[in-house]
């Protein structure tokens, strides 16, 4: 087994010996739930990839993305809107995932991002449920996202704001929670906070005080007439687990929150998770990231380089100094109900932080550990999004006293 992996995120293996590559492959497969990938396309593409080689990953997924996008274009030209929508959704996934191992200074990164976003917007304009593009004003710039209506009448309904992690974008969050929420008559708001999605291209970078951009998101959400202010929920996955946990003591307008998984100390988690081979690299804390390029497994180095870019810094030492300030405090001041979720396939450090956060809560709370028998034990339940959706929305239904089937 390759021990030069990025994080401990799963104990299962699907296709690749390289742990990071195998996790992202599972991520792509997970999009099948909502039509964002196809099994045959995924396994054919995987067969064209050299295990652990980032360039072959990019090449294979880009080729599949172009192939499927061409199918979508032809279907649309012939008036087959449903087929076009389905193909554009898959093309989005393949374009987006082609970018995972592209370095931030590589001009291909922005090009791929633009192609992926274009495919997603083509898909969601063809048939319902559509995803309304939104821009939330923030510090002279914009936080991009989408609003999905849970009913055709724009009737007030419970609303869930979803925040992703360091490797997601608002478009990709659609597959995590979008149609699942619509089926249950929830309005859904998907948004990128600073550092996520396209925002680093626009000069917005990760910040530790995530309560500030989340306040702007809540401000915007409550201007929408469809939103029931008394049934407004917040959901964060991966790094978003820190972002929402940090914001809760400040943001009392949130009436329920889900974190998968809660993170209360970014620096402690990062230091526990950084591969030992990187910590042993000469000059790791003071030198630029170019030293990491020669590692036997280049993927962790690429990921750290991308993280520094998203944080608006150039060295690992700067990023780690920023991480020292990323802490969740005043947990006892959180008043809304909170659901904490974590998978047993995640790291011991992540499990410990989730439990510490849960134990410190003084509000109504629930804790769900997904085990291997659930088929959902990987990071953010990536290996069983259907079960994750069921747990999240059933819990919200109970908290809000809401039953969509009675409407």
Spell out the domain ranges in the chain.
17-127, 129-265+326-406
Would you put residue 206 in left (φ > 0), alpha (ψ -120 to 50) or beta? beta
Domains 17-127 and 129-265+326-406 share a fold: no
- According to the 3-state scheme, what is the secondary structure of 65-98? HHHHHHHHHHHHHCCCHHHHHHHHHHHHHHHHHH
Average pLDDT over residues 253-277: 87
Cβ neighbors of 125 (< 8 A, separation 6 or more) are none
- The domain covering 17-127 belongs, at the CATH homologous superfamily level, to acylaminoacyl peptidase (1.20.1440.110)
Strand partners of residue 47: none
Cα–Cα distance measured from residue 50 to residue 325, given in angstroms and rounded to the nearest whole number: 39
Beta bridge partners of residue 234, listed in sequence order: 161, 257
Angstrom distance (rounded) from CA 265 to CA 350: 10
Tokens 């989340």 map to which residue? 214
Residue 294 has pLDDT above 70, yes or no: no
| Angle of helix 211-221 versus helix 239-247 axis, rounded to 10 | 80
pLDDT grade for 140, boundaries at 50, 70 and 90: very high
Indicate the SS3 state at residue 6: coil
Strands 338-343 and 187-191, how do they pair?
unpaired
Q: What is the per-residue pLDDT for 300?
A: 80
Q: What is the pLDDT of residue 289?
A: 45
Contact yes or no for 315/287 (Cβ under 8 A)? yes
pLDDT digits (tens, 9 = 90+) for 295-345: 567 888 888 889 999 999 988 889 889 999 999 999 999 999 999 999 999
Position 293 pLDDT exceeds 60: no
pLDDT of residue 290: 42
Residue 2 confidence class, pLDDT cut points 50, 70, 90: very low
Compute the average pLDDT of residues 379-392: 96
Predicted model pTM: 0.93
pLDDT reading at 360 higher than 60: yes
Distances (CA, A) of 75 to 25, 37, 78, 92, 130: 27, 17, 5, 16, 19
Of all residues in the chain, the percent with pLDDT exceeding 90 is: 79
pLDDT of residue 130: 81
Least confident of 7-16, 226-235, 325-334: 7-16
Q: Which residue has the higher pLDDT, 263 or 303?
A: 263
- pLDDT reported for residue 60: 98
In degrees and rounded to multiples of 5, residue 371 shows phi and psi of -105, 170
Q: Mean pLDDT over residues 399-403, rounded?
A: 95
Pairing relation of β-strands 132-138 and 157-163? unpaired
Q: Is it the case that residue 109 has pLDDT exceeding 80?
A: yes
Confidence category of residue 407, pLDDT binned at 50, 70, 90: low
CATH 1.25.40.80 fits 129-265+326-406, yes or no: no
Most confident of 157-166, 264-273, 310-319: 157-166
Of 79, 78, 24, 28, nearest to 51 by C-alpha is 24
In this predicted structure, the answer to whether residue 22 has a pLDDT above a threshold of 90 is yes
How far apart, in whole angstroms, are the C-alpha atoms of residue 364 and residue 288? 45
274 closest CA partner among 241, 243, 307: 307
Strand partners for 237: 260
Q: Is the pLDDT of residue 149 over 80?
A: yes
Residue 288 or 340, more confident:
340
Residue 292 has pLDDT above 80, yes or no: no
Kindly indicate the confidence band of residue 402, based on its pLDDT and cuts at 50, 70 and 90.
very high
Per-residue pLDDT, 11:
65
pLDDT at 403 over 90: no
Percentage of residues in the chain with pLDDT exceeding 70? 90
The residue whose two tokens read 């992703």 is 164
Sign of CA dihedral 29, 33, 39, 42: negative
DSSP single-letter state for residue 150: S
| CA atoms of 74 and 161, how far apart (whole Å) | 35
pLDDT, residue 365, reads 98
Of 311, 353, 361, nearest in space to 195 by CA: 311
pLDDT for res 404: 77
Dihedral of the CA atoms 102, 93, 191, 5 (nearest 10)? -50
Measured CA to CA, the distance from residue 324 to residue 47 in angstroms comes to: 41
pLDDT for 10 equals 57
Gap between the Cα atoms of 59 and 384, Å rounded: 27
CA distance 104 to 249: 34
Asked if 150 contacts 181 with a C-beta cutoff of 8 angstroms, the reply is yes
| pLDDT, mean over the chain | 91
Confidence of residue 192 (pLDDT cuts 50, 70, 90): very high
Q: What's the pLDDT score for residue 286?
A: 45
Question: What's residue 52's pLDDT?
Answer: 92
Q: For the ranges 2-6, 11-15, 81-85, 131-135, which has the lowest average pLDDT?
A: 2-6
The alpha helices in 184-298, defined as continuous H runs, are 211-221, 239-247, 266-273, 276-279
**Strands, DSSP E only, in 310-405?**
338-343, 365-370
Band the pLDDT of 406: cuts 50, 70, 90. Answer: low
Q: What is the mean pLDDT of residues 68-95?
A: 97
Higher pLDDT, 93 or 294: 93
Residues 213, 207 contacting (CB under 8 angstroms): yes
Q: Lowest-confidence range among 18-27, 109-118, 184-193, 351-360? A: 18-27
């Amino acid at each position: 087994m390759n021990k030069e992996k990025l994080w401990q995120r799963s104990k299962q293996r699907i296709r690749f010996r390289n742990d990071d590559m195998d996790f992202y492959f599972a991520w792509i497969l997970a999009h099948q739930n909502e039509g964002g990938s196809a099994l045959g396309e995924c396994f054919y593409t995987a067969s064209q990839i050299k295990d652990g080689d980032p360039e072959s990953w990019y090449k294979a997924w880009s080729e599949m993305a172009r192939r499927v996008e061409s199918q979508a274009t032809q279907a649309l030209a012939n008036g087959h809107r449903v087929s076009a929508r389905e193909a554009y959704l898959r093309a989005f996934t393949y374009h987006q995932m082609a970018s995972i191992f592209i370095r931030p200074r590589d001009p291909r990164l922005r090009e791929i991002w633009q192609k992926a976003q274009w495919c997603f917007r083509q898909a969601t304009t063809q048939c319902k449920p559509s995803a309304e593009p939104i821009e939330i004003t923030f510090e002279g710039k914009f936080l991009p996202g989408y609003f999905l209506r849970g009913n055709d009448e724009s009737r007030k309904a419970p609303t869930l704001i979803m925040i992703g992690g360091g490797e997601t974008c608002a478009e990709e969050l659609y597959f995590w929670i979008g149609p699942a929420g619509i089926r249950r008559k929830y309005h859904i708001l998907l948004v990128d906070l600073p550092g996520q999605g396209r925002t680093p291209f626009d000069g917005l970078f990760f910040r530790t005080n995530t309560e500030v951009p989340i306040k702007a998101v809540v401000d915007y959400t409550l201007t929408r007439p469809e939103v029931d202010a008394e049934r407004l929920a917040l959901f964060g996955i991966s790094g978003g687990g820190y972002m929402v946990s940090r914001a809760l003591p400040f943001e009392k307008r949130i009436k329920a929150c889900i974190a998968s998984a809660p993170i209360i100390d970014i620096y402690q988690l990062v230091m526990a998770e950084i591969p030992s081979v990187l910590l042993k690299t000469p000059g790791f804390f003071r030198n630029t990231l170019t030293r990491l390029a020669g590692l036997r497994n280049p993927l962790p180095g690429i990921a750290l380089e991308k993280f520094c870019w998203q944080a608006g810094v150039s060295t690992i030492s700067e990023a780690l100094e920023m991480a020292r300030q990323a802490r969740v405090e005043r947990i006892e001041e959180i008043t809304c109900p909170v659901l904490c979720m974590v998978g047993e396939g995640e790291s011991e450090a992540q499990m410990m932080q989730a439990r510490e956060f849960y134990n410190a809560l003084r509000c109504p709370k629930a804790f769900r550990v997904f085990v291997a028998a659930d088929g959902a034990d990987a990071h953010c339940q990536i290996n069983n999004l259907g079960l994750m959706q069921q747990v999240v929305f059933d819990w919200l239904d109970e908290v809000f006293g809401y039953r969509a089937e009675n409407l």
